C-alpha cells in the first residue's frame, strides 16, 4: 500500500526566504507526482506535475524535484511572499491513464510572515 508523508507539517518563514518542502513515498512504482496548493476551505490547485521519467519541473518561483528510486520529492519556493501562505500537498499516481487514483500526503501548512 502506497503511503505518502510530508515533512514538516507546518512551517513559518519571513517574507523573502527560500524554502523547501519535502514529500516521501513508500512505493517507487509511480507514474507521476504532483504538487498542489490548497487555500483554507478551498479546493486544490495543481502547481507542478513531474512524470516518473523526469527529474524536475519548474514554474516561476517554484521548482519540484523527483528522486523516484529513493522515494522522495521536494518543492522549492524561491523568494517567498505572503501570498504563498497555504497548505501544500503532494500526490502520487501509480498507473498510467486516468483510471488510477491519486494518493495524497497530509500536507505542509506554510505561513509567510511580513
Given 14, 60, 83, 97, the residue binding other proteins (CB under 8 A): 97
Residue pair 110/19 in contact (Cβ under 8 Å)? The answer is: yes
Quote the CA–CA distance of 104 and 35 in Å, as a whole number. 10
The radius of gyration computed from the CA coordinates of the chain, to the nearest angstrom, equals 14
DSSP for 96-113, written as a single string: SSTTSPEEE---EEEEEE
Cell numbers for 68 = 523516484
CB of 6 to other proteins, least distance (A): 8
Binding mask 33-72 for other proteins (x = CB under 8 A): ---x----xxxxxx--x-----------------------
Which residue, 8 or 16, is less far from other proteins as judged by CB?
Answer: 8
| Binding stretches for other proteins (CB under 8 A) | 4, 31-32, 36, 41-46, 49, 89, 91, 93, 97-107
Amino acid at each position: 500500500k502506497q503511503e505518502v508523508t510530508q515533512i514538516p507539517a507546518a512551517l513559518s518563514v519571513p517574507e523573502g526566504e527560500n524554502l523547501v518542502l519535502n514529500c516521501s513515498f513508500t512505493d517507487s512504482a509511480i507514474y507521476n507526482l504532483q504538487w498542489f496548493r490548497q487555500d483554507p476551505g478551498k479546493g486544490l490547485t495543481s502547481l507542478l506535475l513531474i512524470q516518473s521519467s523526469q527529474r524536475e519541473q519548474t514554474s516561476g518561483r517554484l521548482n519540484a524535484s523527483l528522486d523516484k528510486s529513493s522515494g522522495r520529492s521536494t518543492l522549492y519556493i524561491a523568494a517567498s511572499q505572503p501570498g504563498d501562505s497555504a497548505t501544500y500537498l503532494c500526490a502520487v499516481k501509480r498507473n498510467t491513464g486516468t483510471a488510477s487514483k491519486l494518493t495524497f500526503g497530509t500536507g505542509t501548512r506554510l505561513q509567510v510572515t511580513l
